[in-house]
Copies of this chain bind each other. A is one copy, B any other.
């Protein structure tokens, strides 16, 4: 990459099921020029997140889809290299929505958060101290609301949302059960993140293991996965359990509905008879809590009370492969692409 042109990855074609390398195309383009009130950014780190799979579809998801030929969407840690905005100077490092590219132009007023590596490592603004961490924070704060002694279960628990859910819930006095794929991640949950129990969802007797791990049932299931984990969770839910739903990564590549029987009405009957609350959200729904999150999480990070792990990918050209791996659960920690 050089800095006299923009290198970017666009959506070449919509995936059918699991994305492939052919769905992406790396391009070069002239550097864009900032207008008045704008800045030119050099994106330094790109966040990869499961939600990006949804943006690759034509259909409705959280937000409008990425169009064919458009640059793939994504959060970035970016450096201002040219400024036409009074509050931003060359050299400022900001949290941006720079996308899958080396350079981007942004309105200065959209860049609300300057980053200081002395406060927290810059890349945490894409993970534990950014959108995924905030997702965990508000999902617990507004929906899950674990009480001391309650059992909180979360899957993808070595990822940036799940890891943060488990650690916050533990700080709040809950009993935490983390689920991840493979022995290495399981050891990490138990030994590094402090989950009370760590389970491998690939175990043939996973459902039985989960039942044994939740002798008092489940009070909060933080749903970011779906699939077989959800199937195992539902029968264990206690009356008045809360299910914040922020992701269903096991289903993002689904091409069609699975075979029957149809369990939709059964799920509704569980919601009814167990007095469940099931609520879908994205972190932005609770954006008013962002300053509180920055304060509180900043304190936890400074005190070493919350840990995180990054899976660093080197080079934009490796982003497609990394996203494909992320959707398979092959990453280990927050996936950040160094540009």
Contacts and interface: CB of A to CB of B under 8 A. Distances in A.
A167 B275 CA distance: 25
A260 interface: yes
Given A223-B268, A279-B278, A256 B261 contact: yes
Given A226-B265, A265-B227, A272 B260 contact: no
A6 interface: no
Interface residues of A, number: 44
Interface stretch (A102-110, A180-188, A245-253, A326-334): A245-253
22 contacts: A54-B273, A223-B268, A226-B268, A226-B269, A247-B272, A248-B269, A251-B269, A256-B261, A257-B266, A258-B260, A262-B264, A263-B264, A264-B267, A270-B280, A271-B279, A274-B280, A275-B279, A275-B282, A276-B278, A276-B280, A277-B279, A278-B279
Given A257-B260, A259-B260, A260-B259, A271 B278 contact: yes
Contacts of A256: 261
Contacts of A263: 257, 262-264
A265 B254 contact: yes
Contacts of A264: 262-264, 266-267
Contact of A230 (B223, B248, B268, B270): B268
Q: Which of A60, A223, A240, A275 has the most CB of B within 10 A?
A: A275
A222 to B, nearest CB: 13
A290 interface: no
Interface of A: 54, 60-62, 223, 226-227, 230, 240, 245-248, 250-251, 254, 256-282, 285
Contacts of A248: 265, 268-269, 272
Contact of A245 (B240, B247, B271): B271
A207 B279 CA distance: 25
A310 to B, nearest CB: 26
Q: Which of A248, A274, A279, A280 has the most CB of B within 10 A?
A: A280
A62 B273 contact: yes
B285 A280 contact: no
A276 B223 CA distance: 14
B268 A257 contact: no
Contacts of A227: 265
Contacts of A62: 273
Contacts of A268: 223, 226, 230, 245, 248, 251, 267, 278
